[in-house]
Amino acid sequence: MTMLIIRRYIRKTAAVSAFVLVTGTLAAQTDSAATDSNIIKLIVKPVEKKGVPVSGTITDAVNGKGIPGIQIKIDDFSAAITDDQGHFTIIAPSYTATLTIEGEGYDTRRVPLKGRNTIQAALLDDAHESFHEPVIMPLGPKTKGYVTAATGQYNLNASWAQPGEMADGILQGRIAGLHVIRRSGTPGAGASLFLRGYNSLYGTNKPLIVVDNMLYDAENYGESIIANTYTNPLALIDVKDIDNITVLKDASSIYGTKGANGAIIITTSRTKNQATRIDFAAYTGFNTAPNNLPVMNADDYRIYLSEVLQSKGLSSTAIASLPYMNDDSKNADYARYHYNTDWQKQVLKSSVNQNIFLKVTGGDNIATYGLSMGYSGSRGAVRETDLTRYNTRFNAVFNFTRRFTGTTNLAFTYNEQNLKDQGISDKTAPLFLSWTKAPFLGANEVNNEGIESPNLADTDILGISNPAVIIANMQAYNKYYRFAGSFGFKYDISKTLNASTMVGVVYDKVRENFFVPRKGVADDTLSNAVADSRMGTQVKRLFTIYNDTRLEYNRRFNREHTLTANLGIRYQHNKAEQDFAKGFNSATDDLVSVQNGLNALRQVGGGIGEWNWLNAYFGAEYGYKDKLFLTFNAAMDGSSRFGKQAADGIDIGVSKFPVMPSLGAAWLISSENFMAHSPIDLLKLRASYSIAGNDDIGNYSARQTYRSQNLLGAQGLLRSGIANPALQWETNHKANLGVDLAFWNERVGLSLDAYHTQTDNMLVYEALPSPSGYKTILTNGGKMQNTGIEASLNVRVLNTRNLSWDASINMATYKNKIKAVPNDRFTTDYAGATMLTAVGRPANQFYGYTAQGVFTSDAEAAAAGLTKKNADGSFSSFKGGDVRFADVDNNKIIDENDRQVIGDPNPALFGGFNNRLIWKRFELGVLFTFSQGNDVFNYVRYRLESLSGINNQLESARNRWRGNGQVTNTPKATWGDPMGNSRFSDRWIEDGSYIRLRTLSLQYNLPLKPNGFLKNASVYATGTNLFTLTEYKGYDPEFSASPSVFAQGIDTGLDPLYRTVTLGVRVGL
């Protein structure tokens, strides 16, 4: 027999030496069933050494047949490969060792011997979520089953069939405890992320974002000059460039004062092998405009307007003489005021999305690389809003020598958005105007002969802007450039010790421009003038330098003990600049730049901010017999943000340095000998305690600051902020208990966690004496806690030759409680709502009046005797048609003392339910997301059922009270709402619970020749936001007007989400 020796290796520390023999076609040496010349048989012959023999069989969990070519190994000791029947024999150091079982297309298993000399294992395919897969941790990849911390993972292999997703939004419903709330339907708007509830009131609650070991700091720097627009750096990453996302929920002290809210660790694509591979993907999506809000038509609106004007004191004759109320068809104004316009159709429309993506990977023994390029075009539900993105990424690994390696990660992205104002912008938000604009008006000019002009109409007789003008002529652009690059080097000093360093740079530039025309838009009032046209420009820049240098020690002792230790230092320097200018009253609407505005009204401003962060850290991980694990991390931080008189931390001169430690332990009970014959495949108990910090206290909040001021032509300085040299970081104490369980050949996996988090030194504002010249000062005088439970369940429901079904559900609940704030309570106001934050209660509860119906008659109101105190000290009595509010203090006066908690925006339960079915060549993915028990303030309905002005109202306003004896919950129409019927009350609080079919994807994998040019090819169709089950009366129960805690649960009328159906293709060469 002719034999070719293709590899031979000898390790001094290993317990085996092996060589691989490749046999040809000599049938005499093979079984008659294996004489095909295309069959290659691998034989591993162990050299006899001290140890014990272990044998077994590896089978396919689908058909029970043995799997050839599966690798079985014991780390740093021995290895074997299964034969044609799936049998193997391996030498183990003892019967307490752990076997690692790996094979292409199958999930990895780690099987402890637990005193056995024979092992039977059935493998599932690699699409199955396993506790033995690697998880990316802050100091490198670890086996999930050996991790002591609470984590969540999402592998993005399936993301190619989930078009239009951003890196933050794609996590929605997939990670237990991560509450992902989409901000709006504006393309690229992203989502607000809250991991395990709120940890701060005025600091950030967003988890730290880490991309390829680079910390993304200051994601929102400077404010946009376009209403309700937020910069979202995660929109710059194409999800098809991402391999894995790990969510670190606790034990994040390794990040020091940046780890208070956990971390989201993103790993972009890495080349898996050296063979050149080309992946191409493209899709086209069709967006469906959302259903209209049911506002009144022209006839109903005209009746309502007549009642409001009558309550203002106008007589019936005076009302009838108004040009827009005159029904005489011969009147010159009749045609102008007798439309029945659906303004929402003028603003909303269906649209098309498209995406093209190309990735090339490959390499050789010297270097491997990955290069990707992408284009994405997404249109919003509001006309003339869109996002265009061009992105490219280059990742590479270089093997300079056997000991010296290097990595590089380079990415450049350009985003361009066409935007419109949205939310609370009465004069310039087209969507809001489409609800409130009088429907008896048209979009175009009409002359006295009743002939409609092609020119768009000006501001109407009621002083309301024309939304069609804003769609056509308002300009609002956001151009976002980002370059992020890093270079890393690693040198193996010895077999157990290595040194590495990484240097990275991020450069962001955001350029914004807007122009609001004179014609068709209501005037704005300045402090010294009336502004007709408005224009503005802004440039924001962020420059970041980041370095991480560390020593890493790895060693296994006596084949029972493992130790990994890291000692390192991180440094980050950030510099942000912002320059803006606003102009007003250009000569014509053709002059749109700031320089064309009046010099006397021009406004200019800006600022420069710098902050530095230094982090020294140590991490150690110890394992005993692959069943007992200990993790200890500690970090010591210094920041230019901290006050020099901070009470805590170590004083090293330039800054106070807090020490943030964490300790975690895990016991893999299933690896114990007494579990040898248990049906449980994996049982692990976890516990951890950590201290982490939040340095989001403002760059100069601890210092005295000044601003320039011009007075009578002389330039000087004016104090702009009062110093608090004692200001320091917020401190989070986190305790976590968890259990991981797998059984039924790991077809069922369960993780359960309970946690308690307490924030000390929480940022709050405290009142100052009036002589100081300031009302409040930022201090560390607060305290808050969160407790919660999270659960995730993964099940391989069906596992047959042609059909497999994976189902997973995750859910979480948390309770937030304030432990200390100044004066034990305070209120905040946002968009007409009042929120209460008080000791013993959750943060940010809705605080208002309780409505008890509407007085049916004047007599009923008189009997109740309720009054309202007016600004001049007089009292007004409630009458028939007014809302009956609860008189909490029983003094017959409805005032602020009658307010009480009327709702809580925090959900009682939230999560997701995911399914993946594979039948032959078809793959079906279904994701449901849900939120239950959260209250929301419907600001839109608050404005559209106020019944107090000239704005159009919802159809429900037709049920308003109109006369004595009428029973209704909708009050009467009154100009100016003198009795405060529309005040913030539980009339506007609704149940925001929902269940949504987030994504539904069907993919077909085309049949290909085994050795053909194509490696894979598939086509798919995906539906997004297909339906939502909810009792909420607004567009959508999911929204987040701002990342601030105090804006959660408030629907300010942002652009809604839309349904999308996408058709796409993916090809691999």
For residue range 814-855, what is the model confidence (pLDDT) as tens digits? 999 999 999 999 999 999 999 999 999 999 999 999 999 999
Share the mean pLDDT of the chain. Answer: 90
In 3D space, the residue among 51, 49, 46 whose CA is nearest the CA of residue 559 turns out to be 51
- Residue 221: pLDDT band by 50, 70, 90 thresholds? low
- Residue 49: pLDDT band by 50, 70, 90 thresholds? low
Amino acid at 531: A
Who contacts 330 (Cβ-Cβ below 8 Å, separation ≥6)? none
Range 181-206 average pLDDT:
92
**Res 218: pLDDT:** 58
- Residue 756: pLDDT band by 50, 70, 90 thresholds? very high
Cα 935 to Cα 1032: distance, rounded to the nearest angstrom: 10
**Res 29: pLDDT:** 34
Q: Using DSSP, how many helices (H) and how many strands (E) does the chain show?
A: 7, 60
Cα 987 to Cα 491: distance, rounded to the nearest angstrom: 66
Listed by start position, the domains of the chain span 3-124
Amino acid at 414: Y
- Residue 563: pLDDT band by 50, 70, 90 thresholds? very high
Q: Which residues pair with 359 in a beta bridge?
A: 279, 372
- Residue 710: pLDDT band by 50, 70, 90 thresholds? confident
More confident residue, 4 or 668: 668
Amino acid at 598: L
**Res 555: pLDDT:** 94
**Res 681: pLDDT:** 92
Contact 391, 238 (CB under 8 A): yes
Amino acid at 267: T
Contact 741, 683 (CB under 8 A): yes
**Res 5: pLDDT:** 30
Q: Is 1031 helix (H, G, I), strand (E, B) or coil?
A: coil
Q: Containing H/E element for 711?
A: strand 705-711
**Res 417: pLDDT:** 94
Distances (CA, A) of 430 to 226, 437, 469, 493, 951: 13, 10, 9, 64, 14
- What's the length of the chain? 1069
Do β-strands 994-1005 and 1016-1030 pair in parallel, antiparallel, or remain unpaired?
A: antiparallel
Strand segments, DSSP code E, in 33-104 are 42-44, 52-60, 71-74, 78-81, 87-92, 98-102
- pLDDT, one tens digit per residue, over 343-394 is 999 999 999 999 999 999 999 999 999 999 999 999 999 999 999 999 999 9
Cα 372 to Cα 239: distance, rounded to the nearest angstrom: 12
More confident residue, 44 or 635: 635
Q: Is 659 helix (H, G, I), strand (E, B) or coil?
A: strand
**Res 739: pLDDT:** 98
Distances (CA, A) of 558 to 93, 274, 625, 925: 10, 35, 10, 47
Who contacts 963 (Cβ-Cβ below 8 Å, separation ≥6)? none
Cα 169 off chain centre by: 5
In 3D space, the residue among 615, 612, 616, 539 whose CA is nearest the CA of residue 574 turns out to be 612
Distances (CA, A) of 783 to 212, 250, 751, 910: 34, 19, 30, 25
Range 998-1011 average pLDDT:
91
Range 868-874 average pLDDT:
93
- 743's tokens: 């059984």
**Res 791: pLDDT:** 98
- pLDDT, one tens digit per residue, over 94-123 is 998 999 999 988 988 889 999 999 999 999
Q: The CATH number of 3-124 is which of 2.60.40.1120, 3.10.20.30, 3.30.379.10, 3.40.50.150? A: 2.60.40.1120
pLDDT beyond 70 at 42: no
- Residue 421: pLDDT band by 50, 70, 90 thresholds? very high
More confident residue, 273 or 64: 64
- Residue 20: pLDDT band by 50, 70, 90 thresholds? very low
More confident residue, 64 or 851: 851
**Res 781: pLDDT:** 96
Q: Containing H/E element for 347?
A: helix 343-347
Contact 1056, 265 (CB under 8 A): no
**Res 228: pLDDT:** 82
Cα 298 to Cα 304: distance, rounded to the nearest angstrom: 10
**Res 271: pLDDT:** 84
pLDDT beyond 90 at 694: yes
- 157's tokens: 């292999």
Give the 3-state secondary structure percentages of the chain, helix then strand then coil, rounded to 5.
10, 50, 40
Buried b (16+ CB within 10 A) or exposed e, 694-731: bbbbbbbbbbeeeeeeeeeeeeeeeeebbbbeebbbbb
Who contacts 965 (Cβ-Cβ below 8 Å, separation ≥6)? 856, 857
- Residue 792: pLDDT band by 50, 70, 90 thresholds? very high
Percent of the chain at pLDDT > 70 equals 94
CA atoms in the 13 A half-sphere facing the CB of 574? 22
pLDDT beyond 50 at 39: no
Tell me how far apart the 2 most distant CA atoms of the chain are, in Å.
114
